Amino acid sequence: MSNYSARDITMTAVFAALAVVAAMLVRYGGSIVPFSLLPFVVMLAGGLLGARLGSLSIIVYILLGLVGIPVFATPPFGGPAYVLKPTFGLLLGFVVSAYVIGALLKNREESGFTRYFLSMVAGIVVYYLIGLPYIYVILNFYLGQAVSVVKVLYIGFVPFIVLDLVKAAAAAVMARALYRRLNGVI
């Protein structure tokens, strides 16, 4: 197992903290899936920290919430019972999303905007592929609501996909610029 440097630990903690801020910034309770800047932070984490540290930062964020610290976007905002919330699958998807983004950008020194953007879009696909079935399962089998697949798409996909693509473009620009700046790539 490889050791983590002080920089690795610091950057992981910074992105876990950014995830907390992003989730707490907009606590909108009007629907099952709230609007959030968390996907933007996830994309930045994968794009800047890479697969291992990007996903680890999101794992730290989730663990903070599961131990009871109120860091999640919807009530109860924290605690182990949060795994039974329909949106918890999106959180799990964010871990894999950050990993995929980081893995796709492994050799990013000469990567342009297009590669960054497509990596971010791949990350979006990943968290929807994990999060939407989780929403379906929790709503239908735990909460006992008869919800169709189409209804789940209207709950967790349709209202968010355009904004997620905008977040992907912004994250691609920021991650590319910050990576180049932090690593001295000209």
Nearest C-alpha neighbor of 90 from the set 102, 108, 77, 72:
72
Q: All domains of the chain, ordered by start, with CATH? A: 6-182 (1.10.1760.20)
What's the gap between Cα 96 and its chain centre? Answer: 8
- Least confident window among 86-90, 107-111, 137-141: 107-111
Is the backbone peptide bond immediately before 133 cis, with ω within 30 degrees of 0?
no
On the question of pLDDT at 54 being above 90, the answer is yes
Model pTM? 0.93
Contact 94, 42 (CB under 8 A): yes
pLDDT at 150: 96
Task: Please tell me what DSSP assigns to residue 27.
Answer: -
Q: What is the CA radius of gyration of the chain?
A: 16
Phi/psi-derived region of residue 68, left when phi > 0, alpha when psi is between -120 and 50, beta in every other case: left
Sorted by sequence, the CB contacts under 8 Å of residue 139 that are 6+ apart come out as: 32, 86, 145, 147, 152
On the question of pLDDT at 2 being above 80, the answer is no
Q: Band the pLDDT of 73: cuts 50, 70, 90.
A: confident
